[in-house]
Amino acid sequence: MVAAPPAVQDADDLYYDAARKRVYIPGGEGYISVFSQDDADHYKFLAKVPSAIGARTAGYFGKGKKGFDRFYLAVPARADHAAEVWIYTLQE
């Protein structure tokens, strides 16, 4: 283990964005943890992006060009709404 920064709990996925040197971790707590990679062994917390309780399954599809990447989050159905897919546009 090279790093253990505090992050969202109840996570199923972790994605690395090589173009921006970022790590995205969606968790069932209702947010996405975002970290920047300073070097191979050091990561810095960047953001706690609000999402939905229980939404911990995601997909990251980068085209390699900054500004065109997308992060897809599967939001489970609840009593008051159907299942959804939320799409986040990654920014600098």
**Kind plus residue range of the DSSP H or E element containing 65:** none
pLDDT tens, 36-65? 999 989 999 999 999 999 999 999 987 655
Which residue is listed with tokens 């609840």?
78
pLDDT tens, 59-84? 998 765 555 688 999 999 999 989 99
Who has greater pLDDT, 10 or 3? Answer: 10
What is the reported pTM?
Answer: 0.87
Q: What is the pLDDT of residue 76?
A: 95
Residue 27 has pLDDT above 70, yes or no: yes
What gap in Å lies between CA 55 and CA 75, rounded to an integer?
A: 5
